[in-house]
Amino acid sequence: MDIVVFAAVLVAALMHASWNAIVKTGLDRFSAILLMTLAQGGIGLVLIPAFPLPAAQAWPWVVASALLHMGYKLFLIRAYEHGELSQVYPVARGTAPLIVLLVGAAFLGEALGAAQTLAVLAIALGIMLMALRRQRIDRMPAKALGFALGTACFTAAYTLVDGIGARLAGTASGYTMWLFAGDAIGITAWALATRGRGAFGRLAPAWRSGVTAGALSLGAYWIVIWAFTLAPLALVAALRETSVLFAMLIGVFVLGERAGPIRWVSGALILAGVVLMRL
């Protein structure tokens, strides 16, 4: 992976961790995700005229990706209803790069070398280790595990779709803006169908946080989609998930949170994967 792409994806991971750390909307999870998605879609719509249209062959991938992003968010919400964030999120995010690694090698001709494969495995294992607590395995409710693994499948699927779609589009930026606009339209339709217009009224007090979250999230994934056009998908997918390590470091050194031995071991594994990937 080129050093510029490598550094850019690490910046994207830091952006992803940052908006998770600084944005506190006070909303329930569905409302928070709805607000952030609307902000992303609004920014995307504003920026669409600044970039070329994606090539015709990329449009089915744009639509598929928007639907997969919706599925990811809805499954993540359900996973949080049945389990704790500290266990659900590492399982959901750590499993996805492994799926991308296998599918990329089997169907996209993106077989990695031994060192790169070990790097992806180290990052994924480090992330999943964060699901352990108090130096033991706490039993994760079956429904939470099922929805977390479902979320991982959606994450892997939209990663693969976006990698292929952005390469076909001929414009990573144009592809990104249309994707976020489509995702926002889909989530809006879902919210209206399941919760009615009242779902939007409660968002107004937190609009500043929503715009902040949406801008950082869009910027982070914009970088990632650009990187998909220049590097193997599994490497980008794994490096993107180092946001978990950044989130831990922000929590410890900025927010004053405590980190037990397991979290430090997890962080060391993720860092080792990053170093190995660069080497």
Q: What are the tens digits of pLDDT across the range 209-225?
A: 888 888 999 999 999 99
| Helices 243-253/261-278 angle, 10° precision | 130
Give how far Cα 71 sits from Cα of 3, 43, 49, 148, 183, Å: 33, 21, 27, 12, 10
- Blockwise average pLDDT, block size 10, the chain, 279 residues: 94 82 65 91 96 97 96 89 77 90 94 94 90 60 88 95 97 97 95 91 84 90 97 95 83 75 88 91
**pTM of the predicted structure, to 2 decimals:** 0.90
Nearest to 232 by CA among 70, 135, 116, 143: 116
8 Å CB contact between 238 and 273: yes
Q: What is the pLDDT of residue 136?
A: 46
Q: What is the pLDDT of residue 22?
A: 55
Q: Where are the alpha helices (DSSP H) in 170-206?
A: 172-195, 198-201
Q: Please give the structure tokens belonging to residue 117.
A: 């494969």
The whole-angstrom separation of Cα 99 and Cα 101 is: 5
Q: Please give the structure tokens belonging to residue 144.
A: 């939470």
End-to-end CA distance of the chain: 10
Name the average pLDDT for the chain. 89
8 Å CB contact between 162 and 228: yes
3-state secondary structure of 136: strand
